[in-house]
Amino acid sequence: MLGALAQAVTDRTTAAITAATGQSPSAAAALTALDQFLDRPTLDRLRLVLGLTPSGAVRLVDRLSQAGLVTRGPGGDGRSRSVMLTERGRAAAAEVAAARATVLRDLLGDFSAADRKTLGRLLDRLMAGVVAGKDGGGWICRQCDLAACERAAGRCPAANAAAAKYAQP
């Protein structure tokens, strides 16, 4: 059931994001990451967050640049380039977030406040397990809404699980 649900949520979210922005799931993840938590990352950093190959990241940034959603700038050293959202890119990132939020809100439409609270606690535990068992390849939070998970208040289950996983003994 969980697998079927995961696929249904992915399918609905992908369809909503594509309809709203005309962007692929990888492009949507890049826009969201750049908007939410990556500040002028290098192309390599963006690649690692998205779990792309170097050539895949270059092609993605080329497409986003051609669409006027990102620009490239100087990186931290003379060999690297940074990636930044344009105003149009910020607007597209907001469209991604809104489309995703609508899908999730609709899925939870029949849940009571108590149901949502229970589901939230269960999802926190599930996310902690996902993070604890994750090795390499892309970040889990590449399409996160950092306000929704209350990361700034220290309540993000993925961030907390990652902190515990990588804590120094």
DSSP 119-153: HHHHHHHHHHHHHHH--SSS-TTTT--TTTTTGGG
For residue 140, what pLDDT is reported?
A: 66
pLDDT value for 143: 66
Same domain, 93 and 120: no
Paired with 85 in beta bridges are 70
Structure confidence by residue, pLDDT tens digits, 82-130: 999 999 999 999 999 999 999 999 999 999 999 999 998 898 888 888 8
Q: Are residues 88 and 121 in the same domain?
A: no
Structural domain ending residue among the three candidates 107, 126, 154? 107
Distance CA 126, CA 119 (A): 10
- State which of 79, 107, 135 marks the end of a domain: 107
Residues 82 and 125 in one domain: no
The 3-state DSSP class for residue 38 equals coil
- Predicted local distance difference test score (pLDDT) of residue 133: 74
Non-local (6+) Cβ contacts of 58 within 8 A are 43
Domain hosting residue 127, numbered range? 111-169
Q: Are residues 118 and 101 in the same domain?
A: no
Tokens at 87, concatenated: 């105003």
Same domain, 45 and 9: yes
Residue 158: predicted pLDDT: 73
51 and 116 assigned to the same domain: no
The residue from 91, 107, 123 where one domain ends is 107
- Percentage of the chain beyond pLDDT 90 is 49
> Do 97 and 121 belong together in one domain?
no
Both 167 and 134 in one domain: the answer is yes
Same domain, 78 and 34: yes
Listed as ranges, residues in the chain with pLDDT below 50 are: none
CATH number at residue 27: 1.10.10.10
Q: Assess whether 61 and 134 both reside in one domain.
A: no
Q: Domains in the chain: how many in total?
A: 2
User: What confidence score (pLDDT) does residue 136 get?
Assistant: 60
What is the reported pTM? Answer: 0.81
